[in-house]
Amino acid sequence: MVSRQAEVPLFIDAGLPTGSIRDDVMAGLSRSPRSLPPKLFYDEEGSRLFDAICELDEYYPTRTEIGIMRTRLDEIVEAVGAGALLVEYGSGSSVKTEILLERLDQLAGYVPIDISREHLLASASRIARRHPNLAIYPVAADYTTMIPGLADLTAKHRAVVYFPGSTIGNFQPSEAEAFLTRAAKLVGPGGGMLIGVDLRKDASVLEAAYDDALGVTAAFNLNILRHINREAGADFDLGAFRHRAVWNGEASRIEMHLVSRFDQEVRIGDAVIPLTSGESIVTEHSYKYTLPGFAEMATRAGFNTAQTWTDSGDLFSLHYLVARAGGAGKE
């Protein structure tokens, strides 16, 4: 058990080494169109900026999801059940998790997983102070990969993965299904997943949410270049790019880009990447789902949908999924 200490040590440290960051960046910039992996948004500054985005008037997902949680909390707590090991993917500041932790009974433990060590440890320590009898196992890792030692921990308890926000939308649909399949295998038959899913809506609402008037999302987008400069030995000039967000209705996704303001060259180690004026680098796709479409994908991945909750305007949804025996593709 975690004592009343303020600091919580890492349980697993499987963060990305510098070499893999450079490899991921080079792989993305070598594609057409060029891209960068959105997981690199979340260094300490990126995590701080994302927390600020969540407070913006235009950014509806956070407040809408919290509203659903507070309104339907009794049902959510009943669905999760007592004695679960709560595993949170991309825990960040864990604000929404606090709502659950105040009400969930006799948790076997809480496993926050985040790629930003500093943000992770600060959040874990804060939760430890508020919940001194809760076992906390912080994991610094890329949750989209297999994390050594995590399955050993979840095998000892009935595990429930918590994946709030609209992060499932950052995966290409085939990748999202593969991700859900891995989650179903991690929790095992009878284990659960509580997941937030953003829904299709008017383009003007979506574009404002990803291009706010104060420019916080633009700063968040540009910060990925600062992170890459530091971790991968690049020389991106942040002033040489502008933020762009656009709704692609045919693909059902918001696209975030960094657009080159003029012809330029970027160096990453010994490599040189030429960029022309107006050329864009894709930093994020955020897919928006319909309720039937997401339920069908979850079924193919090895889950049954036990409960679905939405707000009155059908802007956002929460789903409680239960992994079934037999796994993906089995009814």
- Quote the pLDDT of residue 16: 67
- Quote the pLDDT of residue 18: 66
- Quote the pLDDT of residue 2: 38
Determine the average pLDDT of the residues in 198-206: 97
Peptide bond preceding 189: is omega within 30 degrees of 0, i.e. cis?
no
Instruction: Give the chain's mean pLDDT.
Output: 93
Determine the average pLDDT of the residues in 9-18: 81
Evaluate if residue 4 carries a pLDDT over 50.
no
Rounded-to-integer distance, Cα 187 and Cα 283, Å:
30
Q: Structure tokens of 223?
A: 């910060």
Rounded-to-integer distance, Cα 281 and Cα 244, Å:
10
DSSP-derived 3-state class of residue 218: helix
Determine the average pLDDT of the residues in 246-262: 98
Rounded-to-integer distance, Cα 143 and Cα 185, Å:
14
Determine the average pLDDT of the residues in 309-325: 97
Nearest to 160 by CA among 303, 328, 13: 303
Residue that is written with structure tokens 């509806």 in the block? 60
Domains in the chain, please, with CATH? 53-201+289-323 (3.40.50.150)
Rounded-to-integer distance, Cα 132 and Cα 144, Å:
29
Could you tell me if 303 and 176 are in contact, meaning their C-beta atoms sit under 8 angstroms apart? no
- How much helix, strand and coil, in percent to the nearest 5, is found in the chain? 40, 25, 35
- Quote the pLDDT of residue 105: 81
DSSP-derived 3-state class of residue 189: coil
Evaluate if residue 43 carries a pLDDT over 60.
yes
Q: Which string of DSSP letters, residue by residue, matches 205-216?
A: HHHHHTS-TT-H
Evaluate if residue 9 carries a pLDDT over 50.
yes
Please state whether the predicted TM-score (pTM) of the whole model is above 0.85. yes
Determine the average pLDDT of the residues in 293-318: 98
Determine the average pLDDT of the residues in 295-315: 97
Could you tell me if 155 and 305 are in contact, meaning their C-beta atoms sit under 8 angstroms apart? no
Q: Structure tokens of 248?
A: 């692609």
Let me know how many helices (H) and strands (E) the chain has, helices first. 11, 14
Find how far residue 133's CA is from the centre of its chain. 27
Rounded-to-integer distance, Cα 324 and Cα 331, Å:
8
Evaluate if residue 80 carries a pLDDT over 80.
yes
Distances (CA, A) of 288 to 61, 120, 253, 255: 12, 27, 6, 11
